[in-house]
């Protein structure tokens, strides 16, 4: 039995090249987006989905708080925040461990992408405001779209954004060469009910993204921060 609700599975765009047979695809995304006024595109970072709430720090499973070694730092940070979280559930990407992309301009390891409160996902503005109160950075914002626009322009914009490197300086773990971002997450800028998640959030993922194998949890490596390399952090 889970002690809190886990993050829902994000559906892919129909034109997302990284969708596999196990993934869910929103074939009706364009119809869903017609009822949305404003959409924000954010960078899909290559890490682990972690949730901070009053009960602890959770990975994908919310049956019990995580104890993995790569969440040690965020669990220490949670100890300082736990008494102020209330009914906020802060979801973010934990980049402490390197997955398929190595980021060489990381100012920190945890980036917020959503905040749930009871039966609603908070608006993007509220998410940024609350994250700032807790001194937590937000995932890189790539652009906003004021609907309506043409479907062809909307999709072309996503593919153009997805062809860019990360502002956090993305490198392929295997080739050690610069690479594009993992993908894009598009969401309704306004708040929306938890049970309407699939109609308000959707992703685009590059083809053949995952480069890790079953030995990853044994051989994982910590991602270095920019100030540990003597450089300057790339701001969001």
- Which tokens in the block code for residue 164? 């860019």
Tens of pLDDT, residue by residue over 47-86, are 999 999 999 999 988 889 999 999 999 999 999 999 999 9
- Which tokens in the block code for residue 234? 């790339």
Reported pTM? 0.93
Degrees to nearest 5, angle at CA 68 with 7 and 173? 85
CB crowding 66-83: b at 16 or more within 10 Å, else e = bebebbeebbebbeebee
Note the pLDDT of residue 230. 56
Tokens 């001194």 locate to 135
**Other Cβ atoms closer than 10 A to 157:** 16
Distance CA 112, CA 94 (A): 9
- Which tokens in the block code for residue 181? 């971002």
Note the pLDDT of residue 150. 98
Note the pLDDT of residue 214. 60
The DSSP bridge pattern shows strands 201-205 and 11-12 to be parallel
Domain ranges of the chain: 11-211
Longest dimension (CA), the chain: 48
CB crowding 194-230: b at 16 or more within 10 Å, else e = eeebbbbbbbbbbeebeebeeeeeeebeebebbeeee
**Other Cβ atoms closer than 10 A to 149:** 12
Query: E strands, 135-199, where?
Result: 141-146, 170-172, 183-188, 192-193
Q: Considering only CA atoms, which of 44, 48, 55, 45 is closest in space to residue 5?
A: 55
Q: Could you tell me how far CA 125 lies from the centroid of its own chain? A: 16
Tens of pLDDT, residue by residue over 4-20, are 888 889 999 999 999 99
pLDDT tens per residue across all 236 residues of the chain? 677 888 889 999 999 999 998 999 999 999 999 999 999 999 999 999 999 999 999 998 888 999 999 999 999 999 999 999 999 999 999 999 999 999 999 999 999 999 999 999 999 999 999 999 999 999 999 999 999 999 999 999 999 999 999 999 999 999 999 999 999 999 999 999 999 999 999 999 999 766 566 657 888 999 999 998 654 444 33
CATH code 3.30.470.30 for 11-211: yes
């Amino acid at each position: 039995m889970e002690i809190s609700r886990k993050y829902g599975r994000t559906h892919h765009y129909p034109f997302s090249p990284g969708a596999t047979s196990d993934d869910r695809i929103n074939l009706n995304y364009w119809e869903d987006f017609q009822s949305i006024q404003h959409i924000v595109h954010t960078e899909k970072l290559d890490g682990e989905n972690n949730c901070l709430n009053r009960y602890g720090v959770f990975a994908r499973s919310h049956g019990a708080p995580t104890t993995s070694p790569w969440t040690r730092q965020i669990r220490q940070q949670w100890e300082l925040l736990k008494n102020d979280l209330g009914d906020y559930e802060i979801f973010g990407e934990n980049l402490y461990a390197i997955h398929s992309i190595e980021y060489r301009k990381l100012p920190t390891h945890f980036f917020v992408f959503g905040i749930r409160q009871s039966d609603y996902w908070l608006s993007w503005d509220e998410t940024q405001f609350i994250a700032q109160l807790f001194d937590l950075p937000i995932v890189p914002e790539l652009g906003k779209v004021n609907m309506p626009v043409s479907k062809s322009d909307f999709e072309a914009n996503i593919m153009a954004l997805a062809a860019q490197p990360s502002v956090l300086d993305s490198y392929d773990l295997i080739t050690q060469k610069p690479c594009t971002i993992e993908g894009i997450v598009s969401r309704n800028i306004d708040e929306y009910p938890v049970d309407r998640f699939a109609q308000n959030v959707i992703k685009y993922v590059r083809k053949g993204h995952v480069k890790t194998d079953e030995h990853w949890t044994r051989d994982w490596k910590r991602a270095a921060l920019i100030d540990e390399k003597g450089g300057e952090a790339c701001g969001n």
